[in-house]
């Protein structure tokens, strides 16, 4: 079977790997010169099934109002003057009930746990080196309400069988010794010992090398311009260099561009580009740095230890397809790094970055077939795309080959959005990406 994968982010590259392992002839089309040049470039470095949760959570609407007034707010909203932004936010708000949160979280955790296990297998089989660590995540809490919310999350995690522990302030240093100096600022923490960390870009680049060696063809600096539909299936994939493919199947793994590519095919994907920031700092004193990921719940910022660097990442801006680096957001990242790990890094240094998370309003990705018989979606992984990439890729390969996935994926389909369930595909049509 001949498959085109659109996009060489962590999701597209992982998908190509699993499809090739299943015996498919795979071509990955990527508009950049290398893999992982967009959202997968400098993310916060967490493989965190335990922390997998939708941002649409009970209490978030109230918090969002408070954040509007706060200098270091984790969320910013700037109207992009589209109806889509409004409808996406309305859908997100509708998912902030306890019932919706529990349902969405359980879908994300199940996929993320499966995915972490797949990633471990890949790492061992291929000997992948990406500055990986298997030391867990520590979500540090600064207030009593945060502690109460963490207790509720702990109950959900217990129900889902995810190992975790609520730690008191005096226990934090056992997990992260460098926190001993700032324990007085904290009220406790949720420890997720099975989470992992690493550099997502390195992982993606190295997996792409293995995939190429195994026979996957990568077409870099090439953009998919149009998908031509005939009789309910993608008949042709038109590239910007004039080449035309007639594949047996197409996998849309184009991150935030997936929506534009799908739109003119009659498919409405509720994927909004949620901007995040990261700052990568060289370590000045490794003993003063975290050993793994520490997540500051107040600012929703993750601090992840690589070999000789600290990656600080987080924040959400709903502002359309905008990559501008706002120095105030970078200042917040520096502030949190300095507040929790004062001597770990030199505050004058560091490399700042922004990326657009392809995010659905309920948090779970779209890993599914579509009404077009040979078009498959592997996109919308939002806040934890690397965490869910290998599992999603394995599931997608199973779906393309007509095999039953090893986990329940009924909650990852497009049909869960009431207004877009069975979009009727155009008998003839094309899609041209609106956002480069």
Ligand X SMILES: Cc1cc2nc3c(=O)[nH]c(=O)nc-3n(C[C@H](O)[C@H](O)[C@H](O)COP(=O)(O)OP(=O)(O)OC[C@H]3O[C@@H](n4cnc5c(N)ncnc54)[C@H](O)[C@@H]3O)c2cc1C
Binding residue positions for FAD:
3-17
> What is d(CA 372, CA 76) in angstroms, rounded to the nearest whole number?
36
Query: Are residues 285 and 275 in contact, defined by beta-carbon separation less than 8 angstroms?
Result: no
Query: Which among 158, 58, 75 is positioned nearest to 109, based on CA atoms?
Result: 158
Binding to ligand X by residue 37, rule CB under 6 A? yes
> What is the CA angle 200-204-207, rounded to 5?
135
| Distances, alpha carbon 240 to alpha carbons 144, 237, 345, 433, in Å | 55, 10, 44, 11
Coil/strand/helix, residue 252: strand
- Compare residues 30 and 362 and give the one whose CB is closer to ligand X: 30
Q: Which residues are known binding-site members?
A: 3-17
The contact mask relative to ligand X for 220-259 (x = CB under 6 A, - = no) is: ---xx----------------------------xxx-x--
Residues of span 131-190 touching ligand X by CB under 6 A: none
Q: Pick one of 16, 19, 26, 39: the residue that binds ligand X (CB under 6 A).
A: 39
The contact mask relative to ligand X for 357-396 (x = CB under 6 A, - = no) is: xx--------------------x-xxxxxxx---------
Residue count of the chain: 436
Tell me how far, at minimum, the Cβ of 33 lies from ligand X, in Å.
Answer: 10
Q: Pick one of 3, 45, 329, 374: the residue that binds ligand X (CB under 6 A).
A: 45
Tell me how far, at minimum, the Cβ of 422 lies from ligand X, in Å.
Answer: 24
The pair of three-digit structure tokens given for residue 285, joined into one six-digit string = 């004193």
> What is d(CA 283, CA 177) in angstroms, rounded to the nearest whole number?
16
> What is d(CA 187, CA 144) in angstroms, rounded to the nearest whole number?
7
- Compare residues 184 and 400 and give the one whose CB is closer to ligand X: 400
Interacting stretch for ligand X, rule CB under 6 A, among 44-52, 117-125, 187-195, 206-214? 44-52
Tell me how far, at minimum, the Cβ of 144 lies from ligand X, in Å.
Answer: 27
User: How crowded is residue 300: how many other Cβ atoms within 10 Å of its Cβ?
Assistant: 19
Binding to ligand X by residue 280, rule CB under 6 A? no
Query: Which among 279, 305, 282 is positioned nearest to 292, based on CA atoms?
Result: 305
The contact mask relative to ligand X for 308-347 (x = CB under 6 A, - = no) is: -----x----------------------------------
- Compare residues 32 and 210 and give the one whose CB is closer to ligand X: 32
Query: Are residues 279 and 10 in contact, defined by beta-carbon separation less than 8 angstroms?
Result: no
| Beta-sheet pairing, 165-167 with 75-77 | unpaired
Query: Are residues 301 and 331 in contact, defined by beta-carbon separation less than 8 angstroms?
Result: no
Binding to ligand X by residue 95, rule CB under 6 A? no
**Chain positions contacting ligand X, by CB under 6 A:** 6-12, 29-32, 37-40, 43-46, 223-224, 253-255, 257, 261, 276-278, 302, 313, 355, 357-358, 379, 381-387, 433
């Amino acid at each position: 079977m001949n498959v085109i994968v659109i996009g060489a982010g962590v999701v597209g590259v992982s998908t190509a790997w699993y499809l090739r392992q299943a015996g498919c002839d795979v071509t990955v089309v990527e508009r950049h010169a290398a893999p992982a040049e967009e959202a997968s470039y400098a993310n916060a470095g967490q493989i965190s099934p335990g922390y997998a949760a939708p941002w649409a959570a009970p209490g978030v609407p109230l918090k969002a109002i408070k954040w509007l007034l706060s200098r270091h707010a984790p969320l910013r909203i700037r109207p992009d003057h589209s109806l889509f932004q409004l409808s996406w936010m309305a859908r997100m708000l509708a998912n902030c009930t306890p019932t919706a949160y529990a349902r969405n979280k359980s879908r994300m955790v199940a996929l993320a746990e499966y995915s972490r296990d797949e990633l471990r297998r890949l790492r061992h089989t291929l000997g992948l080196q990406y500055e990986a660590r298997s030391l867990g995540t520590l979500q540090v809490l600064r207030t009593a309400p945060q502690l109460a919310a963490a207790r509720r999350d702990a109950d959900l995690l217990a129900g889902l069988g995810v190992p975790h522990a609520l730690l008191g302030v005096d226990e934090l240093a056992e997990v992260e010794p460098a926190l001993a100096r700032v324990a007085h600022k904290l009220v406790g923490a949720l420890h997720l010992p099975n989470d992992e960390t690493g550099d997502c870009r390195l992982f993606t680049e190295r997996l792409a090398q293995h995939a190429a060696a195994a026979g996957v063809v990568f077409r870099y600096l090439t953009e998919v311009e149009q998908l031509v539909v005939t009789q309910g299936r993608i008949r042709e994939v038109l590239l910007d260099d004039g080449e035309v493919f007639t594949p047996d199947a197409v996998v849309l793994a184009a991150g935030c561009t997936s929506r534009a590519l799908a739109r003119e095919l009659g498919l409405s994907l509720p994927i909004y580009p949620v901007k995040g920031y990261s700052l990568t700092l060289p370590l000045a004193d490794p003993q003063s740095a975290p050993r793994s990921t520490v997540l500051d719940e107040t600012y929703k910022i993750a601090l992840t230890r690589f070999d000789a660097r600290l990656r600080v990442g987080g924040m959400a801006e709903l502002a359309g397809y905008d990559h501008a680096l706002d120095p105030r957001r970078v200042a917040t990242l520096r502030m949190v790094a300095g507040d929790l790990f004062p001597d770990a890094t030199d505050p004058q240094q560091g490399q700042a970055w922004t990326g657009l998370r392809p995010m659905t309003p309920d948090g779970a990705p779209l890993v599914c077939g579509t009404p077009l018989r040979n078009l498959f979606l592997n996109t919308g992984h939002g806040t934890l795309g690397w965490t869910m990439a290998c599992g999603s890729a394995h599931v997608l390969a199973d779906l393309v080959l007509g095999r039953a996935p090893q986990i329940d994926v009924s909650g990852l389909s497009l049909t869960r959005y009431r207004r877009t369930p069975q979009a009727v595909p155009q008998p003839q049509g094309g899609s041209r990406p609106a956002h480069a």
